[in-house]
Amino acid sequence: MEPLISYSGLELTLVELILGAALLLLGALITLIFARRGGAKDAAQQEQRAKVLEGHLTQMTDRQTELQGRLAQMAEDSATRETQLRESLDTRLNKVSERVGQSIEATQERNSVSLKQLHERLALIDRAQKNIETLSGEVSGLQSLLSNKQSRGAFGEKQMQDLISNYLPSNAYSFQHTLSNGKRVDALVHLPGDQGDVAIDSKFPMEAWRRLTDADNTPAEAVAAREFARDVTVHIKAVADKYLIFGETHDIAMLFLPSEAIYAELHANFPQVIEKGFSQKVMIVSPTTFMATLHTMRAVMKDAAMREQAHIIQREVGAMAKDVSLLDDRVAKLQTHFNQSNEDIRKIRISTEKITKRADKIESLDVQEEKSASNITEFRKPAS
């Protein structure tokens, strides 16, 4: 129970105050009983004590009344404070509830956005995983394709044929052409004029390349490098012996490597192999450099076709010059007609001006005759 009175560190509750008042009353009654039991000789003293006790009782009654008033005031103040406290708590609870509601709503909104982004990222991850699975399948297929020597050769040959068919016209090349020595070349590009046809052969030294890459930074690297250079040199010699035929093919043949990595390795670490190819008139090309070479060949073919069609162009230019001359004659005749028309129009305007002037003269003559007749009439009129 909360204390109702606190004074100098002393706190009294309502029950303690009531018990204290009851004890005082009980003491007064006991004193009064003992006073009555005394003798007559103590009557005056007892009366005096009774008066004192009555005064004390009166004071106690007054204090009790004052205490009750204070208790009532304190109860009223307590009720008011309780009401204010309740209102304050309600207001604060409402604000807290509102803030909590706003925070929950904002959290839900953020969570929904995060979940949406999470779903989108999961969808991207799923698509990426599918692409990775597809790519891994393609890589596995490519590995199985490259592991077979015949399949690997067909792959390089197909890549070379696709590049040629994409950059050159269909009548400028032939595949699997048989030369006069009975050797069949993978591709033959027909250059214009008497320049000869360029023989192109596709080679893919995959085994030697794998041995070289596997022996990187090992004692076996030198042996693998020699074997790789030997294999490429053998391919260069085979191309030179089979496809360089005087008077039939071009002075230079091409060795197509379908791997940019092998081509870069040759130029970076095996310059002697490249020089060997130049000395035997065999140019090693990769897909990228082969595209540039095909562009050059196409430009040469286009230039030759333009030179071959030069007489047709001259004939057409002469016919165009005759047409321009005929057009000039017709324009001159049309200008003569225009000049004649201008002269006719000028003469017609002269005639119309003359007609207009004559009409004006006739009109002025009629007006003068009317004025003369009116003057004669006024002259003959008698005076009044």
Give per-residue pLDDT as tens, 36-62.
Answer: 555 545 667 767 777 777 777 777 777
pLDDT given for residue 13 in this prediction = 60
CA distances from 294 to 48, 83, 168, 231, 307 (A): 145, 97, 7, 26, 20
Listed as ranges, residues in the chain with pLDDT below 70 are 1-43, 46, 134-153, 310, 365-384
The neighbouring-strand residues paired with 215 are: none
Which contiguous run of DSSP H or E holds residue 220?
Answer: none
What is d(CA 185, CA 179) in angstroms, rounded to the nearest whole number? 7
Q: What are 55-84's pLDDT values in tens digits?
A: 777 777 777 777 777 777 887 888 888 888
pLDDT given for residue 10 in this prediction = 46
> Can you tell me which residue has the tokens 């005076």?
383
Give the amino acid at 301.
M
Quote the pTM value. 0.46
CA distances from 103 to 90, 96, 107, 110, 120 (A): 19, 10, 6, 10, 25
Work out the number of other CB atoms within 10 angstroms of the CB of residue 185.
Answer: 21
What is d(CA 335, CA 343) in angstroms, rounded to the nearest whole number? 12
% helix, strand, coil for the chain, step of 5: 80, 10, 15
What is d(CA 289, CA 350) in angstroms, rounded to the nearest whole number? 83
Pairing of strands 282-285, 253-256: parallel
CA distances from 246 to 196, 231, 251, 255 (A): 9, 26, 8, 18
Check: CB of residue 59 under 8 Å from CB of residue 67. no
